[in-house]
């Protein structure tokens, strides 16, 4: 326990993100006071969920298992309603708790279910993917998808704790691990540029879940998110007191990325879509004179070194533009993009020239 990394986050209440190995012992403390605990998990993690159930039962909790579909298929109103029905059947009260065990889609769903059951019960997140650890499980954004777009129905509801057991990454499919690296690299582009330096110099070590570098990259990515969330929990501030961008900075690459996910009916991994989204917005910033050609190229080289996609097929611009128009960051009819005015120096570009947008798409669809 002494080697565990603990990062505090301040939001509507304070909580800890714990990073390390063999962390199951932290759960009872985070759930203290609950009588009933529901473990929301995909079928692929039934063995891990059963082990968690046994441990929590030994600590006196009444455990309900709620198995949900895989990946984005679980982020629907129908699945959320299934979870609510299970909580009602088990008699869950305001003092009880939900545990989200799985990737980012599971933690999004579990957080939303907890936020809406009896207008809010506790949730503890146990992400099992890299993307979940550095992004989805931390920060208190919860949500489900609709036909209109991704995460358009949701709430801000902070967890009571987040347990990032890096051991889980050793059995994570390689493509899922690499997709999670897109969110790590995102933090490097917008805030902690040392992440980019380390990934560029040691790409193999950066993606080795048994080594120390990946754990440290997770720590640095989580620390940035914790700092941003603590300052702007509900993403209401355009800039902070020190002039830095608020929580919206964490959406770098996401406007175009979410449009890709929607067009692909969520068959693309989130990180893969965000990877292309970062290249798109880098090209946009280059066209607007905000990034140099070498800085745009750095996006391509870093992401390519990790095996992430940097292009998207041509011929779909009207559909992608329409999807971006209903993105959460849009204000009225005005598209807003997080862009870079140099690596590590993010800003907002509201209403870029449509010819720039089309040209940026042409650049990523070559």
Question: Which residues form the domain of 79?
Answer: 5-171
6 CB-contact burial (10 Å; exposed 0-12 / middle 13-18 / buried 19+) = exposed
The model's pTM is 0.88
| Residue 314 lies inside a defined structural domain of this protein | yes
- Please give the span between the terminal C-alpha atoms of the chain, in angstroms, as a whole number: 50
In a domain, 330, yes or no: yes
Shared domain for 95 and 123, answered yes or no, is: yes
- What is the number of structural domains in the chain? 2
d(CA 290, CA 358): 17
Q: How wide is the angle at C-alpha 345 spanned by C-alphas 257 and 365, nearest 5°?
A: 30
Cβ 238 vs Cβ 245: under 8 Å: yes
**Closest-CA residue to 300 (of 320, 276, 268):** 276
Asked if 193 and 151 sit in the same domain, the reply is no
In terms of domains, do 191 and 166 share one? Answer: no
Cα gap 231→234, rounded to integer Å? 9
- Which residues lie closer than 8 Å to 40 by C-beta, 6 or more apart? 66, 68, 83, 98, 99, 100, 101, 102, 106, 109, 110, 113
164 and 179 belong to one structural domain: no
The CATH code of the domain that includes 355 is 1.20.1090.10
The domain boundary residue, chosen from 171, 186, 206: 171
Which residues carry out catalysis?
Answer: 119, 141, 183, 225, 235, 247, 251, 254, 258, 270
Do residue 13 and residue 137 come from a single domain? yes
| Any domain includes 23 | yes
The whole-number pLDDT of residue 111 equals 95
Where a domain ends, among 142, 171, 200? Answer: 171
Mean pLDDT by 10 residues, the chain (366 residues): 80 89 90 95 94 95 95 92 96 96 94 95 96 86 85 88 94 94 97 96 93 95 89 61 69 95 92 97 97 98 96 96 78 84 95 96 93
Bridge pairing between strands 97-102 and 36-42: parallel
Domain assignment present for 235: no
Q: Check residue 186 and give its pLDDT.
A: 97
pLDDT at residue 148 in the model: 79
The pLDDT value recorded for residue 231 is 76
Residue 243 pLDDT: 46
Same domain? 142 vs 201: no
| Same-domain status, 180 and 295 | yes
Same domain, 294 and 311: yes
In a 3-state reduction of DSSP, which class is residue 205?
helix
CATH of the domain at 67: 3.40.50.1970
Same structural domain, 132 and 279: no
**DSSP collapsed to 3 states, 107-147:** HHHHHHHHHHHHHCCEEEEEECCHHHHHHHCCCCEEEEEEC
The answer as to whether 222 is a domain residue is no
| 160 and 280 in a common domain | no
154 and 189 co-located in one domain: no
Note the pLDDT of residue 169.
95
Choose the final residue of a domain: 112, 141, 171.
171
The answer as to whether 326 is a domain residue is yes
Are 275 and 345 in a shared domain?
yes
């Amino acid at each position: 326990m002494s080697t565990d990394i603990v990062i505090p986050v301040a939001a509507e209440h304070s909580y800890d993100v714990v990073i390390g190995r063999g962390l199951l012992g932290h759960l009872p403390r985070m759930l203290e006071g609950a009588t009933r605990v529901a473990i929301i998990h995909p079928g692929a993690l039934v063995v891990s969920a059963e082990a968690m159930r046994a441990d929590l039962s030994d600590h006196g909790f009444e455990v309900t298992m709620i198995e949900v579909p895989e990946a984005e298929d679980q982020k629907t109103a129908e699945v959320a309603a299934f979870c609510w029905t299970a909580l009602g059947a088990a008699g869950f009260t305001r003092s009880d708790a939900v545990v989200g065990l799985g990737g980012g889609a599971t933690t999004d769903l579990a957080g939303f279910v907890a936020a809406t059951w009896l207008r809010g019960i506790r949730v503890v997140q146990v992400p099992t993917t890299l993307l979940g650890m550095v992004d989805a499980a931390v920060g208190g954004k919860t949500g489900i998808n609709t036909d209109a777009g991704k995460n358009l129905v949701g709430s801000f509801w902070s967890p009571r704790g987040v347990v990032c057991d890096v051991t889980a990454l050793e059995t994570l499919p390689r493509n899922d691990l690499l997709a999670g690296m897109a969110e790590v690299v995102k933090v490097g582009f917008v805030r902690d540029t040392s992440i980019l330096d380390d990934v560029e110099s040691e790409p193999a070590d950066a993606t080795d879940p048994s080594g120390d570098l990946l754990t440290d990259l997770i720590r640095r990515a989580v620390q940035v998110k914790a700092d941003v969330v603590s300052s702007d929990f509900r993403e209401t501030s355009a800039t902070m007191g020190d002039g830095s961008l608020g929580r919206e900075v964490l959406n770098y690459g996401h406007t175009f990325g979410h449009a890709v996910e929607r067009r692909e009916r969520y068959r693309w991994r989130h990180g893969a879509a965000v990877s292309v989204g970062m290249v798109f917005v880098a090209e946009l910033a280059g066209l607007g004179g905000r990034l140099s050609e070498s800085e745009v190229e750095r996006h391509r080289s870093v992401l390519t070194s990790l095996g992430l996609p940097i292009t998207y097929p041509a011929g779909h611009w009207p559909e992608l533009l329409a999807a971006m128009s209903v993105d959460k960051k849009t204000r009225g009819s005005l598209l807003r993009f997080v862009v870079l005015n140099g690596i590590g120096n993010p800003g907002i570009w509201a209403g870029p020239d449509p010819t720039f947008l089309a040209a940026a798409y042409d650049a990523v669809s070559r």
